[in-house]
């Protein structure tokens, strides 16, 4: 960092200065990391013997500095990482410390609290010296050879990365990029031909087709170019263990808080939630580092009682899983595996214990199912607990906050006497008149509760129907987040979603293979994948809204990248928010440096710095935000933690704070996941996509057609809401240029794709119109036009083939994705746009009801459930009118003779394109025994008939002159 030719220390902000020879002081001759001599001596005295940037040892300074004689006595890799992170944070905020309130500044313009911070640091240094003095006297001298071996081994461990980027081979990615560019050129030539060759006899159809094709090309660019630099990643769990789990020493792995969200136990079966919780409690991770928080947003006594049973069964299940290395560690899915469970199990007692465990699990299922059966009918007086008191959550919309710790780090042991992870039940307070923000609000409540009770530096959130399929999943994420180089700027590690219970053909593209194996890999090569709502490990500090440590500050003169030389007229509010965020970052760093302080002064400073305006009125929670490495502050009173946890989940806690606006899960859309990840990456954070060989998490997908369409409708509606909000990627977050352009294109694609439904419905209707009227959208083809069409189709095919080659996706998965893109586009996406416009213009919230019919009691029986929903009408109508058009086209060709078969080919080709893409919808609509709702057939046939009759009556392709001449001809005919 240089200002006016002077070098400044990245630790204290002072000038680096000169050495004894009068030359500029350099601590590390490898990377020339700017650090002053005073800070260098402090680092050495503290036992930190490597460069903070490149991890090169300070060996060349050891001989010259007398203070470095004993610095090799204590040096673990964890300490080095903590220091590098702290210094990076300090370097980020050097000389930016200021107050939020102007009244805190004295006459000279310096903050009043700066003197307090300096005095506290002096006290801290004195206390450290007092503590270290007797320790040095009692320690026995370490032989020099042993000391050198320890140094060399620690240096070797520091040099080994915990993860590696595996780029796509050039033989696969280079042809892919070349074809993309060639396809872009062909598209330009194609549109030049289409625009310069109008069809006068069907001008309306031609103009409609041109508009649709231009939009399709635009959406293709948005979808294709973010996949320009795909990467794969590999992790080294053995190195993670060697670095942070040394024999004979306590584990240095970071703690993780798991979040599980549920609302209605009658729609989200408690048995599935129990399996998710059991798989979390049994992960291969130190038990004192794992805490599981279950959010019951419906305040259901059924969920509470099922967790009581789950906690009791966990005492048996967890030691069984860890003893025999069971995978997966969700009992329902482990016992239902159709594999040889004796493979790789050599313990003689395994078969006996497995049978006993399966019997215990069956009894556990019986108890859970009995609770579910009991909960089917609510008593008139409401539910009562075992002690006779009324259940506080009888009114799900008006109840107090509830917290119950079922398992903890002390007092709760399994059947073998080992400690168990923490399990906490949370139901936030709800009162009429308050906005609770659904899932996003529940997740923010869990953030605050976990910060007060455990405060792990990392958070992993799962839906209640997603269980841990790979017990090493947390370690996989830690290979990124705990890496001193990679993890500094990571806001989260996203895992792909995998699903159980889907038929082999996957007719409705429930697996989303193309998105998770192609698009997300492409984003990982830019700024990282987007957050998809579940299976994600967060850096808690990123959720608090801070900027990454290595991100440079926005200068006061920074402007929108579009208009760097003009005065800012846009994004002023963003710059203001960034400035306030940097002030808060700087204040938090200074407070984090202090170990010994006066309680009254600390509380005064917290209030003065407007922490309460950001995080809310909880001193305990604000104290936890100062702990970058997690853990509870020493000042926390254990007896008051539950009371404080109840306070932070009160319904009015978030009022007049930054929750849901700048920190935590962001409000404003039903797809809060996209908004949350987008805000983080706009601040400069990166994310990582982790795809272990064994899927980390698995979930249950909506398998039947109606449920799948309603899932897609919810996603599309959330994108439309973001499009009409202030967080739209088209105009949000340009200040500072922290979001890369290809990443912005990807986010734009996530919010504009529902609008593709409008041109898609029009384009799927055009073939039927052409067949019914005898007109066509393309004039007579010349040799040049034929070559352009052929080149366009070949480029589409080659792009898909090359994409399959580098991604590993199958042709069937790509075809299913293409089919459901059309099915969802002409149904769910269309209704999402319609509902979004109604909500924006008139404030009307439209709900599309779903009515289920009985399913067959067979494997994949739910696949054949037919549920009546309005979403089924548009695609059924399109199928009917295209079939009618094909029949009418062939009839005209038979009556018109040989010359009419040529023009018919192009029209029928487009009609069959629509029918083939809608075929899975037609198959799902008919079901196994043709059990289609009659109302769907009636509506579709009625719409298709009315449309055909009105079209024939109006016949817009016959001009007035032609119609008058035809009438005169008819009059002159002598009948």
Q: Count of alpha carbons within 13 Å of 478, Cβ hemisphere only?
A: 25
Spatial separation of the C-alpha atoms in residues 776 and 799, rounded to whole Å: 28
Phi, psi of 390 (to 5 degrees): -70, 140
Q: Where does 686-779 have alpha helices with state H?
A: 705-723, 741-752, 757-773
CB atoms within 10 A of CB 236: 16
Whether residue 436 has a cis bond before it, omega within 30° of 0: no
Catalytic residue at 380?
A: no
Both tokens of 162, joined, read 């915990």
SS3 312: helix
Residue 268 marked in a binding site: yes
Both tokens of 762, joined, read 């029009």
Look at strands 231-235 and 163-167 and give their pairing: antiparallel
CA distances in angstroms from 804 to 265, 321, 464, 600, 689, listed in the order given:
40, 37, 32, 63, 19
Contact 712, 824 (CB under 8 A): yes
CA distances in angstroms from 512 to 469, 506, 744, 820, 860, listed in the order given:
18, 10, 22, 10, 18
Q: Give which of 623, 254, 258 is closest to 407, Cα–Cα.
A: 258
For the stretch 166-171, contacts whose Cβ atoms lie closer than 8 Å and that sit 24 or more positions apart, written own/partner, are 166/231, 166/232, 166/233, 166/234, 167/231, 167/232, 168/230, 168/231, 168/232, 168/806, 169/806
Helix (H) or strand (E) holding 255: none
Look at strands 422-427 and 290-296 and give their pairing: parallel
Q: Give which of 591, 608, 595 is closest to 635, Cα–Cα.
A: 595
Burial category of 570 from C-beta neighbours within 10 Å (exposed 0-12, middle 13-18, buried 19 and up): middle
Residue-by-residue DSSP string for 808-833: ---HHHHHHHHHHHHHHHTTHHHHHH
Q: Which of 296, 297, 517, 578 is labelled catalytic? A: 297
CA dihedral 787→789→793→795, nearest 10 degrees, is: 60
Residue 463 marked in a binding site: yes
Both tokens of 57, joined, read 């040892």
Both tokens of 462, joined, read 């799962």
Spatial separation of the C-alpha atoms in residues 892 and 901, rounded to whole Å: 9
Give the distance, in angstroms, between the CA of residue 533 and the centroid of all CA atoms in the same chain.
5
Q: Give which of 281, 307, 294 is closest to 414, Cα–Cα.
A: 281
Spatial separation of the C-alpha atoms in residues 36 and 16, rounded to whole Å: 4
Residue 297 marked in a binding site: yes
Find tokens 């042709």 and name the residue.
811
Catalytic residue at 360?
A: no
Phi, psi of 721 (to 5 degrees): -60, -40
Strands (E), 633-713: 686-689, 697-700
- Residues forming the active site: 297, 673
Binding site membership for UDP-alpha-D-glucose: which residues? Answer: 261, 267-268, 297, 438
- Binding site members: 261, 267-268, 297, 438-439, 463
Task: Name the binding residues for Mn(2+).
Answer: 439, 463
């Amino acid at each position: 960092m240089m200002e006016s030719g002077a070098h400044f220390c990245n630790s204290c902000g002072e000038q680096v200065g000169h050495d004894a020879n009068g030359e500029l002081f350099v601590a590390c001759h490898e990377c020339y990391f700017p650090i002053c001599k005073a800070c260098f001596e402090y680092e050495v005295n503290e036992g930190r013997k490597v460069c903070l940037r490149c991890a090169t040892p300070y060996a060349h300074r050891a001989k010259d500095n007398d203070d470095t004689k004993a610095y090799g006595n204590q040096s673990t890799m964890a300490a080095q990482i903590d220091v590098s992170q702290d210094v990076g944070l300090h370097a980020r905020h050097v000389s930016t410390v200021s107050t939020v309130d102007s009244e805190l500044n004295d006459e000279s313009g310096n903050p009043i609290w700066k003197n307090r911070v300096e005095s506290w640091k002096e006290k801290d240094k004195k206390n450290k010296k007092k503590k270290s003095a007797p320790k040095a006297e009692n320690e026995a001298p370490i032989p020099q050879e042993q000391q050198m071996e320890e140094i060399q081994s620690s240096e070797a461990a520091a040099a080994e990365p915990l993860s590696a980027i595996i780029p796509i081979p050039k033989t696969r990615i280079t042809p892919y990029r070349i074809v993309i560019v060639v396809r872009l050129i062909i598209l330009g030539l194609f549109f030049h031909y289409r625009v310069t060759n109008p069809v006068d006899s069907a001008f309306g159809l031609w103009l409609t087709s041109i508009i649709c094709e231009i939009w399709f090309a635009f959406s293709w660019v948005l979808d294709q170019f973010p996949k320009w630099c795909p990467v794969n990643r590999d992790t080294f769990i053995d190195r993670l263990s060697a670095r942070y789990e040394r024999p004979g020493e306590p584990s240095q792995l970071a703690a993780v808080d798991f979040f599980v969200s549920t609302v209605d136990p009658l729609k989200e079966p408690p048995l599935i939630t129990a399996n998710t919780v059991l798989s979390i409690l049994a992960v291969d991770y130190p038990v004192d580092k794992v805490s599981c928080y279950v959010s019951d947003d419906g305040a259901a006594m059924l969920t509470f009682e099922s967790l009581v049973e789950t906690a009791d069964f966990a005492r048996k299940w967890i030691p069984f899983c860890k003893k025999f290395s069971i995978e997966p560690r969700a009992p329902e899915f482990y016992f239902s595996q159709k594999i040889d469970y004796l493979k790789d199990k050599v313990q003689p007692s395994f078969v006996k214990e497995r049978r006993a465990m399966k019997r215990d699990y069956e009894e556990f299922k019986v108890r859970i199912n009995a609770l579910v059966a009991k909960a089917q009918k609510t008593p008139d007086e409401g539910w009562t607990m075992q002690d006779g008191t009324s259940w506080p959550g009888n009114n799900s919309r008006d109840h107090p906050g509830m917290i119950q710790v079922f398992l903890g780090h002390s007092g709760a042991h399994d059947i073998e006497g080992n400690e168990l992870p923490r399990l906490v039940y949370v139901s936030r307070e709800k009162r009429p008149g308050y906005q609770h923000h659904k899932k996003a609000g529940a997740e923010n409540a869990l953030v605050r509760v976990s910060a007060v009770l455990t405060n792990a530096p990392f958070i992993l959130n799962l839906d209640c129907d997603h269980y841990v399929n790979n017990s090493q999943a947390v370690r996989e994420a830690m290979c990124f987040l705990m890496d001193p180089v990679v993890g500094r700027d990571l806001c989260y590690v996203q895992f792909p979603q995998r699903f159980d219970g889907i038929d082999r053909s996957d007719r409705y593209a429930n697996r989303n293979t193309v998105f998770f194996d192609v698009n997300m890999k492409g984003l990982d090569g830019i700024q990282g994948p987007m957050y998809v709502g579940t299976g994600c490990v967060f850096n808690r500090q990123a959720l608090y809204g801070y900027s990454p440590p290595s991100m440079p500050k926005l200068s006061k003169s920074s402007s929108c990248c579009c208009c760097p030389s003009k005065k800012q007229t846009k994004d002023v509010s963003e710059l203001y928010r960034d400035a306030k965020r940097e002030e808060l970052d700087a204040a938090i760093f200074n407070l984090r440096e202090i170990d010994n302080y006066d309680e009254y002064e600390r509380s005064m400073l917290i209030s003065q710095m407007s922490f309460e305006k950001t995080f809310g009125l909880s001193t305990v929670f604000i104290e936890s935000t100062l702990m970058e490495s997690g853990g509870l502050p020493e000042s926390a009173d254990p007896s008051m933690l539950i009371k404080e946890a109840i306070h932070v989940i009160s319904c009015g806690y978030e009022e007049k704070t930054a929750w849901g606006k700048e920190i935590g899960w962001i409000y404003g859309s039903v797809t809060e996941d996209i908004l949350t990840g987008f805000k983080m990456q706009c601040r400069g954070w990166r994310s990582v996509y982790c795809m272990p060989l064994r899927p980390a998490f698995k979930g249950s997908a909506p398998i039947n057609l109606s449920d799948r369409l309603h899932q897609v409708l919810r996603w599309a509606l959330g994108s439309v809401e973001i499009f009409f909000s202030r967080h739209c990627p088209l105009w949000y977050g340009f200040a500072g240029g922290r979001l890369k352009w290809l990443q912005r294109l990807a986010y734009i694609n996530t919010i504009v794709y529902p609008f593709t439904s409008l041109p898609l419905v029009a384009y799927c209707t055009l073939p039927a119109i052409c067949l019914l009227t005898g007109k066509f959208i393309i004039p007579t083809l010349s040799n040049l036009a034929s070559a352009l069409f052929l080149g366009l189709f070949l480029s589409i095919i080659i792009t898909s083939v090359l994409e399959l080659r580098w991604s590993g996706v199958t042709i069937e998965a790509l075809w299913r994705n293409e089919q459901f893109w059309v099915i969802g586009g002409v149904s769910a996406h269309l209704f999402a746009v319609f509902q979004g416009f109604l909500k924006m213009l008139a404030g009307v919230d439209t709900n599309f009801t779903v009515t289920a019919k009985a399913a067959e009691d067979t494997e994949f029986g739910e696949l054949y459930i037919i549920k009546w929903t309005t979403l089924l009408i548009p695609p059924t109508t399109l199928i009917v009118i295209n079939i009618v058009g094909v029949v009418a086209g062939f009839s005209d060709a038979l009556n018109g003779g040989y010359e009419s078969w040529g023009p018919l080919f192009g029209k029928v080709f487009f009609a069959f394109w629509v029918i083939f893409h809608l075929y899975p919808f037609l198959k799902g609509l008919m079901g196994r025994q043709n059990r289609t709702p009659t109302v769907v057939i009636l509506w579709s046939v009625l719409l298709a008939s009315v449309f055909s009759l009105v079209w024939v009556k109006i016949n817009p392709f016959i001009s007035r002159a032609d119609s008058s001449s035809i009438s005169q001809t008819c009059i002159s005919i002598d009948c």
